[in-house]
A and B are shown apart, each in its own frame.
Chain A
Amino acid sequence: MSKSIVISARGLTIRRGSRDVLRQLEFELSAGGITALVGPSGCGKTTLMRSVVGLQKITGGSLTVLGAPAGTASLRSRIGYAPQGTSAYLDLTVLENVRYFAACVGADRDDIDRVVADVDLASSAHQLTGSLSGGQRSRVSLAIALLGSPDLLVLDEPTVGLDPLLREQLWQLFADLASTGVTLIVSSHVMDEAERCQDVLLMRDGRVLAQQNPAVLKERTATTNLDEAFLRLVRDDEAEVAA
Chain B
Amino acid sequence: MRRLGLILICSAAFAQGPLDPADAAWKSVAPVTLALYRTPPLYSTDTAAPLEIPSVQLQVLRSAGSTFVRLEWADKSRDSTTLPKAERAWQSERLVTQSEATGRFSDACAVMMPTKPVTGDVNPSLQMGDAGHPVRIYFWDSSRGAALMEATGRETTKRTGQTFPAQSQYAAGKWAVAMQLPDLPQGTPLALAVWNGSQQDRDGRKYFTIWHQPR
| A, B: real partners | no
Partner-B contacts on A (CB < 8 A): none
